[in-house]
């Protein structure tokens, strides 16, 4: 409670949350003591929530994105690339800003989109700047806010708006309010189009990530207490969360992974990042990561 600033309205609620916390700690310790996993779990700010509550607060609906993407599968600009590096991390190339925290707002879609826009602008211009998720929350013409939205509409807003304000000019509050579109837009953040990764194609996804950070939707059912290592094992493919892929690689144990930038703050995962199993047998990829991907074109 002290670490995360939690306060409960009365002793009854506090006791109920404590019981949930204890059950979660048992689950975490049992997993870590088994010793046959490629990843560790850990206590974090979600430890007083049941998995159902966690899911209800942080999951989104990706059906609309799938419908739009299905109409735009023909033009993939990174098709049949050669000489793709065995591993790559866009953080090493000044194309990834610090991990952010969406808070209690269901705005993962905006954070995922902005991370990819920040990335492609940095790659093209050589300048890495934090851009504003709040600008999208407040001004997106689809009026998508904390109750979910799509990266496609977020990127489309930036295209039509002629740019996106910086985080400094338009800081994040996590509460959608009236649009302040007169705030200075960062002229270097202009995006011209949006591209889509072919469905269920990890090879195409790799080709894209080798060229720029990519926005993907995933299933977060098993993500609640992830702490470190490569997440392997059972994972659903019901897309319900948006993240940014900022690299890929292989662990010391030979497990290939995707490098995921999340928007749950530094206290989750590996300082806000996750390594997610790559090149599994299922065509959808681990946690459905290959089902729906898109990227801004600058």
pLDDT tens by residue, 163-191: 999 999 999 999 999 998 878 777 778 89
pLDDT tens by residue, 108-157: 999 999 999 999 999 999 999 999 999 999 998 887 889 888 999 999 99
pLDDT for 71 equals 59
pLDDT for 192 equals 92
Q: What is the mean pLDDT of residues 91-112?
A: 96
pLDDT for 127 equals 93
Tell whether the model's pLDDT for residue 222 goes beyond 80. yes
* 241 assigned to active site: yes
Q: Among 21-30, 181-190, 283-292, which stretch is predicted with the lowest mean pLDDT?
A: 181-190
pLDDT for 211 equals 97
Tell whether the model's pLDDT for residue 298 goes beyond 80. yes
* 108 assigned to active site: yes
Active-site entry in 24, 44, 108, 139: 108
Tell whether the model's pLDDT for residue 73 goes beyond 60. no
pLDDT for 59 equals 81
Tell whether the model's pLDDT for residue 75 goes beyond 90. no
Residue 64 — very low, low, confident or very high, per pLDDT cuts 50/70/90? low
Active-site entry in 153, 235, 262, 294: 262
pLDDT for 233 equals 94
Q: What is the mean pLDDT of residues 208-233?
A: 97
Residue 76 — very low, low, confident or very high, per pLDDT cuts 50/70/90? confident
Tell whether the model's pLDDT for residue 61 goes beyond 80. no
Taking the C-alpha atoms of residue 174 and residue 176, their distance in angstroms, rounded to an integer, is 6
pLDDT for 182 equals 78
pLDDT for 72 equals 62
pLDDT for 27 equals 97
Active-site entry in 105, 139, 161, 241: 241
Residue 57 — very low, low, confident or very high, per pLDDT cuts 50/70/90? confident
């Amino acid at each position: 409670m002290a670490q995360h600033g939690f306060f409960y309205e009365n002793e009854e609620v506090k006791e109920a949350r404590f019981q949930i916390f204890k059950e979660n700690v048992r689950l975490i310790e049992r997993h870590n003591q088994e010793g046959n996993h490629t990843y560790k779990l850990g206590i974090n700010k979600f430890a007083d929530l049941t998995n159902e509550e966690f899911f209800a607060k942080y999951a989104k609906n990706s059906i609309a994105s799938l419908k739009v993407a299905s109409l735009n599968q023909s033009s993939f600009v990174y098709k049949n690339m050669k000489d793709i590096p065995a591993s790559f991390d866009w953080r090493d190339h000044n194309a990834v800003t610090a991990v952010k925290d969406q808070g209690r707002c269901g705005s993962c879609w905006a954070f995922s989109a902005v991370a990819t826009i920040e990335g492609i602008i940095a790659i093209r211009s050589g300048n890495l700047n934090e851009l504003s998720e709040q600008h999208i929350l407040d001004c997106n013409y689809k009026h998508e806010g904390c109750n979910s939205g799509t990266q496609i509409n977020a990127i489309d807003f930036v295209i039509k708006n002629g740019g996106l304000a910086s985080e400094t000019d338009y800081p994040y509050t996590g509460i959608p309010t009236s649009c302040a579109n007169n705030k200075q837009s960062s002229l270097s953040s202009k995006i011209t189009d949006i591209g889509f990764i072919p469905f269920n194609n990890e090879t195409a996804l790799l080709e894209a990530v080798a060229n720029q950070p990519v926005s993907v939707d995933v299933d977060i059912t098993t993500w609640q207490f992830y702490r470190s290592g490569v997440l392997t094992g059972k994972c659903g493919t019901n897309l319900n969360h948006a993240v940014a892929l900022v690299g890929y690689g292989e662990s010391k144990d030979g497990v290939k992974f995707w490098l995921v930038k999340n928007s749950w703050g530094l206290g989750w995962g590996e300082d806000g990042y996750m390594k997610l199993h790559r090149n599994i047998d299922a065509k959808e990829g681990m946690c459905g990561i290959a089902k729906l991907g898109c990227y801004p074109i600058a």
